[in-house]
Structures are given as C-alpha cells and as structure tokens.
A and B are shown apart, each in its own frame.
Chain A
Amino acid sequence: DAKTTQPTSMDCAEGRAANLPCNHSTISGNEYVYWYRQIHSQGPQYIIHGLKNNETNEMASLIITEDRKSSTLILPHATLRDTAVYYCIVYSGNTGKLIFGQGTTLQVKP
C-alpha cells in the first residue's frame, strides 16, 4: 500500500493561496490520490480526488505530477475557516484499504 508524506504544519496568510504538498512516491498505477480535511472535533470532510489529471472543484485544485509521485492541494483564496488538518491519502479500489497519515496542520492567519 502506498504511503504518503506531508509536512507537519504550514501557515498561510488570509486571502492568499495555500499550497499543501504531498509525497506518494510508491503509488501504483491504479491508486487514486484523495484529500480530506478535519476541523477540530468534526469528522473528515472530503475535498477532492484524482488519478492522473489535475482536478478542480468549488473547494480546491489538485495538481498531480506527471510521474504521480507527488501532488499539491491548492486552496486559491484561504480564509480563516480553512484552518484545519489536511490529509493526503492514496486509495486502491483493488484492496479497499484506506489509511490516513498524520496530515498537515494548516493555520490561516489574518
């Protein structure tokens, strides 16, 4: 199972883009990259997922490198409410296993 590596913490100024990196160098060809976030005392919230191509939705953009060994989650205009722990996860439909890493604590500052 592919594992992910993320920085422990990051800061971002309010209104600026937040770029959260994730390394998944052992990812397999059929494994997806998912991003979640968890705000204190709540369950994880799905943000976005992708396989090979870059993806964008109303919350964020996901940039996956061509070799798929790393990705970046982009919050285009961070707000104070985006302060949370962000998890990057690799998921395989073959095994069904879904393991979270330690995540990145993003602190958005005014």
Chain B
Amino acid sequence: SQTIHQWPATLVQPVGSPLSLECTVEGTSNPNLYWYRQAAGRGLQLLFYSVGIGQISSEVPQNLSASRPQDRQFILSSKKLLLSDSGFYLCAWIRKSSYEQYFGPGTRLTVT
C-alpha cells in the first residue's frame, strides 16, 4: 500500500535555529514530491516540488531549501528559522502513471 511518513509530528524551535523536516514515501517509485506550508487560518502554499532525484523547483523565495537525496525521500531545511516560518508543513506525492495523490500527516512547527 502507499504510505507517506513525516516526522516529527510537532516541533517547537527558537528563532534563528536550524530546521530539518523529512518525508519518505513507500509503495511507489519515481513519484513527484511536494512540500506545502499552511499558516494558521490560511490556505496551502506550495513551497517546493520535485519531479526526480536532485531536481527541485522552488515556488517561494525565502530562507527555506529542499533536497531529494533519494527517490522516495524529500527534506525541507532552514539554516535560521524566522517567526513567520511557523505553520503546518505537509508533504505530498503523486504517482506519475496514474496521477494518484497522497498527503502525509503533516508537521506542526511553532517558532518562538
């Protein structure tokens, strides 16, 4: 079955600290992968997406970066967090052959 893992589920970090969120996918190969952020009471903002290993497209210029070191692994990082980075971070993937789409459980980040 198709599974997507995200961790941690919740995270509280001070301003200026680094960040690393990991997303891994099971049950498929060569998926499209996505990172979204949702601020409180707002819609889903696309941050990064990847159509293959090492291929990253950025939608929003900011202090975040993404990497895809393996086919089914997608990492979101920051060297120095800002207060405005607080939000609900969601990883998603799409199966290219059938266009099935799945979202992970999300990580709720609070920057203090």
Interface of A toward B, CB cutoff 8 Å = 32, 34, 38, 41-46, 49, 85, 87, 91, 93, 96-103
Interface of B toward A, CB cutoff 8 Å = 32, 34, 36, 43-46, 49-51, 57, 59, 88, 90, 92, 94, 96, 99-106
| Least CB distance, B32 to chain A, in whole angstroms | 5
Contact among A43, A91, A96 with B51 in the assembled complex (CB-CB below 8 Å): A96
Contact indicator A96/B94 (Cβ below 8 Å):
yes
Contact count A vs B, C-beta below 8 Å: 56
Contact indicator A101/B43 (Cβ below 8 Å):
yes
A102/B101 contact (C-beta < 8 A), A43-B106, A93-B96, A97-B57 known? no
Q: Give the docked Cα–Cα distance between A98 and B104 (Å).
A: 15
By secondary structure, the A interface counts as loop
